[in-house]
A and B are shown apart, each in its own frame.
Chain A
Amino acid sequence: MTWNYSKKTTELFMAAVQGKPGSHLGEIEEPDGFGEHGSIACGDALRFTFKVDRHPTDPKQDRITEARYLTFGCTSAIAASEALCAIIEEGDFTPIQALEITNSDIVDYLEGLPQAKIHCSVMGAEALEAAVFNWAQKRGVDLADLGIDIRRDEQEEGRLVCTCFGLTEPYIERKIRELQLRTIPEITNAIKAGGACMSCHHTPGGLQDILTKVWGEQPTAFKELPVLPMARQPKAQPPREMSPFKFAKLVEHVLEEKVRPQLARDGGDIELVDIKDNVVYCSMKGACADCIGSTRTLKMMVEQALKDHVDERIRVVEV
Chain B
Amino acid sequence: MDIIYLDNNATTRVAPEVVEAMMPFLTEAYFNPSSMYEASRGPADAIAAARRTVAKLLGNARATEILFTSCATESNNTAVYGTIAARPERRHIVTSAVEHPAIYEVAKDLARRGFEVDFVPVDTQGRIDKGAFVRALRPETLLVSVMHANNETGVVYPIAELSRIAKETDPSIVFHTDATQTVGKLPIDLRGSFQHVDLLSFSGHKLHAPKGIGALFIRRGTPCRPFLLGGHQEDGRRGGTENVAFIVGLARALELAAGRHDADEPRIRAQRDRLQSELVARIPYLEVNGGEAERLTNTLNIACHFIEGEGILYQLSEHGICASAGSACTSGSLEPSHVLRAMKVPFTAVHGSVRFSLSHYTTDAEIDRVIEVFPEIVASLRRLSPYWDAAKNVPRPEALAMLSETEMPQAR
Could you list which residues of chain A lie within 8 angstroms of chain B, going by C-beta atoms? 1, 3, 10, 13-14, 16-19, 25, 27, 36, 39-41, 43-47, 70-75, 77-78, 116, 160, 163-166, 188, 192, 195-197, 225-233, 235, 273-274, 276-277, 279, 281, 283, 315, 317, 319
Is B191 positioned at the interface, with any CB of A under 8 Å from its CB? no
- Chain B residue at smallest Cβ distance from A18: B380
Contact between chains at A75 and B310 (CB < 8 Å): yes
Contact between chains at B384 and A192 (CB < 8 Å): no
Tell whether A276 pairs with B169 under 8 Å between CB atoms, given A74-B311, A165-B410: yes
- Chain B residue at smallest Cβ distance from A17: B380
Contact between chains at A72 and B386 (CB < 8 Å): yes
Contact between chains at A319 and B310 (CB < 8 Å): no
Could you list which residues of chain B lie within 8 angstroms of chain A, going by C-beta atoms? 88-89, 91, 112-114, 116, 130-131, 134-135, 137-140, 161, 165, 168-169, 306-311, 314-315, 317-318, 327-330, 332-336, 347-348, 351, 377, 380-381, 383-387, 399, 402, 408-412
Instruction: Report 30 cross-chain contacts, Cβ distance below 8 Å, ordered by A residue.
Output: A17-B315, A17-B384, A40-B387, A43-B327, A43-B329, A45-B387, A47-B386, A70-B384, A70-B385, A71-B385, A72-B308, A74-B308, A77-B308, A164-B334, A164-B408, A165-B410, A166-B410, A188-B334, A195-B328, A225-B113, A227-B112, A227-B113, A227-B114, A228-B113, A230-B91, A273-B134, A274-B131, A279-B168, A281-B134, A319-B165
- Chain A residue at smallest Cβ distance from B334: A195
Measured CA separation A273–B408 after assembly (Å): 31
- Chain B residue at smallest Cβ distance from A73: B308
Tell whether A46 pairs with B386 under 8 Å between CB atoms, given A164-B335, A196-B335: yes
- Cβ contacts under 8 Å, A43 to chain B: 308, 327-329, 334, 336, 351
**Closest CB in chain B relative to A307 CB, distance in Å:** 16
- Cβ contacts under 8 Å, B409 to chain A: 39, 41
- Chain A residue at smallest Cβ distance from B109: A225
**Closest CB in chain B relative to A287 CB, distance in Å:** 19
Measured CA separation A47–B402 after assembly (Å): 17
- Among B114, B131, B307, B315, point to the contact of A72 (Cβ < 8 A): B307
Contact between chains at A197 and B412 (CB < 8 Å): yes
Contact between chains at B347 and A315 (CB < 8 Å): no
Tell whether A319 pairs with B383 under 8 Å between CB atoms, given A40-B347, A43-B328, A43-B334: no
Measured CA separation A73–B409 after assembly (Å): 18
- Cβ contacts under 8 Å, A44 to chain B: 308, 329
- Chain A residue at smallest Cβ distance from B140: A233
Contact between chains at A74 and B329 (CB < 8 Å): yes
Tell whether A163 pairs with B113 under 8 Å between CB atoms, given A19-B380, A43-B327: no
Contact between chains at A274 and B135 (CB < 8 Å): yes
Tell whether A164 pairs with B89 under 8 Å between CB atoms, given A17-B311, A72-B385, A225-B113: no
- Among A46, A195, A319, point to the contact of B130 (Cβ < 8 A): A319
- Cβ contacts under 8 Å, A229 to chain B: 114
- Cβ contacts under 8 Å, B380 to chain A: 17-19
**Closest CB in chain B relative to A100 CB, distance in Å:** 25
Measured CA separation A278–B88 after assembly (Å): 25
- Cβ contacts under 8 Å, A165 to chain B: 334, 410
Contact between chains at A317 and B131 (CB < 8 Å): no
Measured CA separation A75–B135 after assembly (Å): 44
**Closest CB in chain A relative to B248 CB, distance in Å:** 31
**Closest CB in chain A relative to B209 CB, distance in Å:** 23
**Closest CB in chain B relative to A80 CB, distance in Å:** 12
8 further interface pairs, Cβ-Cβ under 8 Å (given A3-B314, A276-B137, A319-B165) = A13-B314, A72-B306, A74-B329, A197-B412, A226-B113, A317-B165, A317-B168, A319-B131
Contact between chains at B334 and A196 (CB < 8 Å): yes
- Chain A residue at smallest Cβ distance from B314: A75
- Cβ contacts under 8 Å, B385 to chain A: 70-72
Contact between chains at B112 and A225 (CB < 8 Å): yes
- Chain B residue at smallest Cβ distance from A2: B317
Contact between chains at B383 and A192 (CB < 8 Å): no
**Closest CB in chain A relative to B123 CB, distance in Å:** 15
Measured CA separation A165–B113 after assembly (Å): 28
Measured CA separation A163–B135 after assembly (Å): 30
**Closest CB in chain A relative to B288 CB, distance in Å:** 20
Measured CA separation A207–B310 after assembly (Å): 28
- Among A19, A166, A226, point to the contact of B383 (Cβ < 8 A): A19
- Cβ contacts under 8 Å, B330 to chain A: 74
Contact between chains at A279 and B91 (CB < 8 Å): no
- Cβ contacts under 8 Å, A71 to chain B: 384-386
- Among A14, A164, A225, point to the contact of B318 (Cβ < 8 A): A14
Measured CA separation A95–B114 after assembly (Å): 56
- Among B113, B116, B140, B317, point to the contact of A235 (Cβ < 8 A): B140
Tell whether A277 pairs with B113 under 8 Å between CB atoms, given A45-B386, A163-B412, A188-B334: no
Measured CA separation A195–B348 after assembly (Å): 19
- Among A40, A227, A315, point to the contact of B348 (Cβ < 8 A): A40
Contact between chains at A231 and B130 (CB < 8 Å): no
Measured CA separation A273–B168 after assembly (Å): 15
- Cβ contacts under 8 Å, A116 to chain B: 332
Contact between chains at A277 and B139 (CB < 8 Å): yes
Measured CA separation A10–B310 after assembly (Å): 12
- Cβ contacts under 8 Å, A16 to chain B: 384
Contact between chains at A231 and B310 (CB < 8 Å): no
Contact between chains at B332 and A1 (CB < 8 Å): yes
- Chain A residue at smallest Cβ distance from B139: A235
Measured CA separation A231–B115 after assembly (Å): 9
Contact between chains at A315 and B168 (CB < 8 Å): yes
- Cβ contacts under 8 Å, B351 to chain A: 40, 43, 72
